[in-house]
Amino acid sequence: MTDTLQQQLIIARKEQILAAAAVVFAAKGFHATTIRDIARQAGIADGTIYNYFGSKTALLTGIFEQMRERVLRQNPLPAPETLDLPAFIRLFIQQPLLALRGDNFALFRIILAELPVNEELRTLYHTQIMQPTLHLAEAYFTAQVAQRGIAPEDARLILRAIAGMVQGLLLQYILGDELLTEQWEQLPELLSGLLLHGLGPDPD
């Protein structure tokens, strides 16, 4: 029992620190943030942070893990088999667009900024997010679109294009595109229509 209490205290302190780090990282960016900033924000001493995290970088990966867990817990993926293709696509688009609402946008920005430059984080993102997601989706997706005459090779590329479309829209959102800010809610519906039917037949 005591043991469990201890561990809960440790977890709570870790979360306190990560929360503080997230706030400051979001406001100033990873590199511009100092350990002191985070300690002040958390209301603790500088050294205390190192009782819970080995380095400044560990705070970043800690935030990443936390975000991943939170997203997965809030939006559990349904088995693709229970969906038809349109529903699958709408979900595939909707999920990340909505998962990052709220605080998570700020965190996504931080992580995005480090991804191109931080090897460890990149690997984490690749193995924890992209690979599982793509792997899960590929099996179902290639089978479905095969019925519509699309080769598996192409299907896998298209899946990446769809994932990319979502990521690219997030990027533009972060960069401050006003139209997207206004119309964000419309996107899932609009995009799944576009992907299913295209821009439509030649008018002639």
Q: Which does 191 bind (CB under 5 to 8 A by kind): a second copy, DNA, none?
A: a second copy
Shortest Å, Cβ 94 to a second copy: 14
Q: Which does 94 bind (CB under 5 to 8 A by kind): DNA, a second copy, none?
A: none
CA distance linking residue 133 with residue 96, whole number of Å: 11
Of the pair 43, 149, the CB lying nearest DNA is at 43
Q: Answer yes or no whether residue 149 interacts with a second copy by CB under 8 A.
A: yes
Q: Answer yes or no whether residue 13 interacts with DNA by CB under 7 A.
A: yes
Judged by CB under 7 A, which stretch of 34-42, 95-103, 120-128, 186-194 contacts DNA? 34-42
Of the pair 75, 167, the CB lying nearest a second copy is at 167
Shortest Å, Cβ 108 to a second copy: 9
Query: Site size for DNA, by CB under 7 A?
Result: 18
**Sole binder of DNA in the list 15, 27, 36, 164 (CB under 7 A):** 36
Q: Answer yes or no whether residue 56 interacts with DNA by CB under 7 A.
A: yes
Q: What is the DSSP string of the chain?
A: -HHHHHHHHHHHHHHHHHHHHHHHHHHH-TTT--HHHHHHHHTS-HHHHHHH-SSHHHHHHHHHHHHHHHHHHHSPPPPGGGS-HHHHHHHHHHHHHHHTTTHHHHHHHHHHHHTTT-HHHHHHHIIIIIHHHHHHHHHHHHHHHHTTT--HHHHHHHHHHHHHHHHHHHHHHHTT-HHHHHHGGGHHHHHHHHHHHTT-----
Residues that bind a second copy (CB under 8 A): 29-32, 85, 109-110, 112-117, 122, 125-126, 130, 145, 147-150, 153-154, 156-158, 160-172, 174-177, 179-180, 183, 186-187, 190-191, 194-201, 203
Residues that bind DNA (CB under 7 A): 6, 13, 32-36, 44-48, 50-52, 55-57
